[in-house]
């Protein structure tokens, strides 16, 4: 399997994503925001960073980049797309995912480890994860508080589209574990078909024991398993 790692002006987690994907055998190519070609069988990754300096609003300018029309078509055709941190913000701004990411409740930048508890374990990104435990993923953001109106929150709950909630190592979802004030402790959500995932924590920073843990690889291995690749 191959991945296309998108690069916008201000993206800085592209190399991290390429390295993390290589740990499970996924080859990657970087795709500049002005390009428009994506292969049908590629995993498309929108990495973290500060696209366009976060001017206007996080992800609001990046959504108009030429590559985003291709991302839209890729998703509509059933292709796999994951947006991490700023990538999640871009997906919401592009209306590939509902809701928005706004200033942290503390109004401070947060850079810390968090535990993310899988809620949906049937999507291509989460089917290999254990819902009874938390996965250790770092966060690094100032605008990562997920918000949506009540009908959208109910829809996400009713259709099993909440992918991750902030919680504890033993799988409990608690208010104390919420690092940014996200509604319902939401750390990641899926689109209706389950082929697009947006999440604020950084699984690519949890890819080898040298970094403290390799929990993030569980997501990439789930993707491989979903397309029939044994790991």
Phi, psi for 150 (deg, rounded to 5): -60, -45
- Owner of token pair 């024991």: 209
- How far is Cα 22 from Cα 25, in angstroms, rounded to an integer? 5
204 in catalytic set:
yes
Q: Which of 33, 74, 141, 202 is catalytic?
A: 202
Among residues 42, 143, 204, 207, the one annotated as catalytic is: 204
Active-site annotation holder among 85, 92, 116, 207: 85
The helix/strand/coil state of 207 is: coil
Q: How far apart are the first and last CA of the chain?
A: 12
Radius of gyration, alpha carbons of the chain: 16
Angle 205-207-208 from CA coordinates, rounded to 5°: 120
Q: Give every CB contact of residue 154 below 8 A, 6+ residues apart in sequence.
A: none
Question: Is residue 110 within 8 Å of residue 142, measured between CB atoms?
Answer: yes
* Dist CA 90 CA 52 (whole Å): 11
Q: Is 85 known to be catalytic?
A: yes
Q: Determine contact, residues 171/132, Cβ cutoff 8 Å.
A: yes
Of the candidates 230, 91, 99, the residue with the CA atom closest to the CA atom of residue 157? 99
Q: From CA 231, how far away is CA 221, in angstroms rounded?
A: 7
Residues designated as active site:
85, 202, 204
């Amino acid at each position: 399997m191959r991945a296309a790692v998108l690069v916008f002006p201000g993206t800085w987690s592209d190399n991290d994503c390429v390295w993390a994907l290589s740990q499970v055998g996924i080859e990657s190519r970087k795709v500049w925001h002005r390009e428009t070609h994506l292969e049908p069988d590629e995993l498309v990754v929108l990495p973290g960073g500060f696209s366009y300096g976060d001017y206007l609003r996080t992800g609001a300018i990046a959504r108009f980049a030429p590559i985003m029309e291709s991302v839209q078509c890729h998703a509509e055709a059933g292709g796999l797309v994951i947006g991490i941190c700023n990538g999640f913000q871009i997906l919401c701004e592009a209306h590939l995912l509902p809701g928005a990411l706004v200033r942290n409740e503390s109004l401070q930048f947060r850079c810390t480890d968090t535990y993310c508890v899988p809620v949906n374990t049937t999507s291509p990104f989460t089917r290999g994860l254990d819902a009874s435990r938390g996965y250790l993923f770092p966060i690094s953001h100032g605008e990562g508080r997920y918000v949506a109106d009540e009908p959208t929150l109910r829809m996400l709950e009713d259709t099993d589209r909440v992918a991750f909630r902030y919680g504890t190592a033993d799988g409990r979802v608690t208010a104390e574990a919420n690092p940014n004030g996200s509604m319902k402790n939401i750390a990641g959500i899926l689109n209706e078909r389950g082929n697009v995932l947006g999440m604020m924590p950084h699984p690519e920073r949890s890819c080898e024991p040298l970094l403290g843990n390799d929990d993030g690889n569980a997501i990439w291995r789930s993707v491989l398993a979903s397309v029939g690749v044994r790991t």
